[in-house]
Chains A and B, each alone.
Chain A
Amino acid sequence: MNRNPPSEEALPREFAEAWFSRLYREHEREILRYALRRSAEPQDAADVVAETFLVAWRRLRDVPDGDGARLWLYATARRVLANQRRGLERRTRLTERLREELRRQVPVQSPNEHRKVLEALAGMKDDDRELLMLVGFEELAPSEAASVLGISAISARTRLHRARRRLRARLAEQGERKQPNETEMWEAR
């Protein structure tokens, strides 16, 4: 069923609220997890979630139906995050509470045995890392990751193959190297 209103007439608010609530219920956690994996500080993920869903709220007509909504939200979150990293994104008042909860509850440090993998990821080129994360963490199919990144599915598969090879090489290289501080690692991205 297509839940989008068929015409360009004003979106009825009741319709918008119901649809947005469903969108939020179904996908907010996915976007939060996406943001947590990519934010230097856990509380920053709250801003990404808020801004992403604020975009969705204001552009409900643009949000695709079905599973496309999830990919649309990931792509939007990706751009919000990019703006945040470039210092172009504002912090919103909407997130005070969620920021505080994330700051309080989410541990900043990962267990030692996982830092090696995260360090290897952090040291990769942005495009390679993002592709690997979308497939490895978000568990998207390569074609879905391609949609999020705005590249062709063929290109995604080629790059994914290359990225896996590089990650494998980095993990092998690391072997016995000293583990860096995780904060230094993320801040070095």
Chain B
Amino acid sequence: MNDDEIYRKLRDADPASPGRMACLELEAAEAALAEAIISRPLTAEAPEVTTTPWPSASRRPRRGILGIAGIAIAAVVAAVLLYSGGSDPGARSKAYPAELVRFAESSPLLLLEEPGWRVGYANQESAGEGELEFIRGRKLPPERISEGRDGAIHGLRPPAVRQRRAELNWRGGPLRPWLGDRAASADFRTTAAVLGTTAEVFRYEDGHPGDYEFTALWAEAGRVLEFRAPVPDLAAFDRHLAALHRVGSQRWLEAMPASVIKAASHGRAVAAMLKGIPLPAGFKASEIPDAGLTTDRYQLGAAVAGTVACRWFRQWGEDRDRGDEAGVSEAELALAGAKKWPILREMESEGAYPQVVEELAAAMPSGEFFGRPLLTEVGPALGCAARGIQLHAGPAG
């Protein structure tokens, strides 16, 4: 069998040969995808988003019944609550720093004000993009969703549990692509009044009486708002929409969950997280970027461990290029112990960031990660540039 015959056999077996592709009708879905991408923010510098196992990317459980993936991706800001003390939260106003108020005001300042409902978490990807989770009752158990070969979804929470949760998303860009996207997965469409305007409401297919998922989209002040909830029927969804109220920033901040770290204790929390981590010479805790509002413990842990790890990788690269074997060994030894860093251990159950640090550290002796120079992978994987640490691949890669 000569070379030409080998390639002919390959072409014949091509799972995506021109002939097979010609049988597919994908144009509408492909166009919708292009529109959806263009509707995303155009950021000139977002390399970390691309290949990054960024902490929040893999942390939140998947949700929804149609293969809805975790949402939060890049930068980090979670809501922060400052207590002014006192046992009665309603007794007097709490004082929030100006940056917290700015954070609140960059959101749509909406709350779901139904009896028993509260904010589960808040997350903001960027100034124009974020999400709020509302829950009723205690925290929902995690889902272990899998998709069978027949397309069936397994491992979902029971309907009664799922219906204790709703989410509100806000994003920049035009409304139209989102409507097209949701319509493609819906078996019923209507409209509903919400906050003085009219929302387009979609019911996702695959539901059945007592167990539906609805989503409502509307445009507001140049952004797209989407409220989504599993509900037993449309009437229940309408009740949710009617309970969405706009509030002031003070009240909005007071509704944020207490699980987030107090902004005022950022320095103390960082110092505690640094315990048990070997630090490069000259490292100062002040090098860990304070995003101003940050964050919950996972996100802050990623900032702490990531900054330290990036510094070690930088030393490793520089010393390697200089031929300083002692410096190289010191960095390799420090990162080889990452699996024992307390904050990474704590984060393990929530996401992949610890695993990524360890995988990258394990690649130090070879200097390569999946066939590519290690340092070119480290930067985006750990978000080093975003933490103010530039890595140079150097002459040896």
Contacts and interface: CB of A to CB of B under 8 A. Distances in A.
Given A11-B42, A33-B21, A101 B29 contact: yes
Chain A interface, DSSP helix/strand/loop, else mixed: helix
A180 interface: no
Interface residues of B, number: 58
Name the residue among B25, B68, B372 with the largest chain A CB count within 10 angstroms.
B372
Contacts, number: 173
24 contacts: A29-B21, A29-B30, A37-B16, A51-B50, A58-B40, A80-B51, A83-B51, A90-B57, A90-B69, A98-B30, A100-B185, A101-B26, A105-B23, A105-B24, A105-B25, A110-B13, A113-B12, A117-B10, A118-B13, A127-B371, A132-B10, A137-B10, A137-B14, A167-B6
A79 B149 CA distance: 25
Interface in A13-35: 13, 16-17, 20-21, 24, 28-29, 32-34
Interface stretch (B31-39, B82-90, B156-164): B31-39
Interface residues on A, range: 35 or more
A94 B29 contact: no
Contacts of A127: 371
Interface string B68-98: 1111010000000000000000000000000
Among all A-B residue pairs, the 9 with the closest Cβ atoms: A91-B69, A136-B10, A114-B13, A33-B16, A88-B53, A117-B13, A58-B46, A55-B50, A98-B29
A41 B73 CA distance: 24
A149 B372 CA distance: 9
A57 B33 contact: no
A102 B26 contact: yes
B44 A54 contact: no
Contacts of B44: 8, 10-11, 58-59, 61
A69 to B, nearest CB: 15
